[in-house]
Amino acid sequence: MDLGLRGRVALVTASSAGLGRAAAASLAAEGAKLAIVARGPARLEETAESLRAGGTEVLSIAGDVTDPDMPARLVDATVERFGRLDVLVANAGGPPRGRASEVDDEAIRAAVEANMLTSVRLVRSALPHMRAARWGRICCVTSYSVLKPIPTLALSNLARAGLWAWARTAAADLAAEGSGVTLNLVCPGTHATQRTIDLGGADGPMGDPGDFGKVVAFLCSEPVGFVNGSAVAVDGGASAAG
Ligand SMILES: NC(=O)c1ccc[n+]([C@@H]2O[C@H](COP(=O)([O-])OP(=O)(O)OC[C@H]3O[C@@H](n4cnc5c(N)ncnc54)[C@H](OP(=O)(O)O)[C@@H]3O)[C@@H](O)[C@H]2O)c1
């Protein structure tokens, strides 16, 4: 199947490791040009070099995507380098563990900033370019907590549910205006990444980040033009289990 991504320009944030890097690698394998972002420059450059070694044009930008100014700067830098922006994969680091009655105001504000507002800012910054081109694919990396609350990750549950409410509203607007832009959430379950190790490992089977990246590339492809406002679980059934 031709995903129609050859020559497209994709911005993937939080992409020097884990699920973001896997999404970038899958988009690159389909022929997209890439802008990638992370805070740590060494791992970012290593990722950029590995993508370039496969023949991909890569712009790497070191920075914290949760800085309020950063989303607009990332979009501007991508368009300046490649002349367009077709695909946005909005990703950021996840919040720490905590049960609902334990998380304080400061932690809640930080989670909303990183896992809700950052994606909203990225989408808002990307949309003028996609609307002008009458084509765009946006995929926000969230968690299966959107579909089923995770008792020990109350911060993820609340911030990502807020993003989901906003994204559904935005997706409906984009469809109504005939924008040619789709906006979907991808909701990972436990995958074998550093974040999973940092949270203490997995109780059961883990997903392969490479497979997750392929699902993201598909959700950003030409044939998904009628998939809009969806929250796609990539969780091995975790959100379906009772
Ligand atoms: N892995 C899972 O099982 C799983 C399950 C559900 C949801 N998720 C969610 O999926 C997202 C990605 O998780 P992951 O497992 O891929 O994490 P990861 O393995 O820790 O990788 C995170 C990546 O994002 C970058 N990053 C983190 N914070 C950033 C920031 N503020 N600005 C720019 N770049 C940033 C990191 O590089 P630097 O540190 O150098 O910035 C790294 O490249 C998170 O929101 C996580 O909560 C993951």
The DSSP line for 101-169 is TT--HHHHHHHHIIIIIHHHHHHHHHHHHHHHHT-EEEEEE--GGGTS--TTBHHHHHHHHHHHHHHHH
- Between the CA of 194 and the centroid of ligand 1 the distance, in Å, is 8
**Burial class of 68 by CB neighbour count within 10 A (0 to 12, 13 to 18, 19+):** exposed
Q: Who lines ligand 1 at CB under 6 A?
A: 14-20, 37-40, 43, 64-66, 91-94, 141, 143, 188, 190-191, 193-196
Q: What is the pLDDT of residues 212-229, one digit of tens each?
A: 999 999 999 999 999 999
Residue with tokens 């929250």: 231
* Strand-pair partners of 139: 89, 184
- Between the CA of 134 and the centroid of ligand 1 the distance, in Å, is 30
Q: pLDDT value at position 241?
A: 85
> Cβ of 203: how many Cβ atoms within 10 Å?
7
How far apart are alpha carbons 46 and 48 in whole angstroms? 5
10-residue block means of pLDDT along the chain (242 residues)? Answer: 97 98 98 98 98 98 98 98 98 97 98 98 98 98 97 98 98 98 98 90 91 98 98 97 78
Residue 112 tokens read as: 């909303």
How far apart are alpha carbons 236 and 203 in whole angstroms? 13
How far apart are alpha carbons 71 and 60 in whole angstroms? 14
Query: Mean pLDDT, the chain, as a whole number?
Result: 97
Q: pLDDT value at position 199?
A: 87
How far apart are alpha carbons 197 and 130 in whole angstroms? 37
Q: Delineate the domains of the chain, giving CATH numbers in brackets.
A: 9-234 (3.40.50.720)
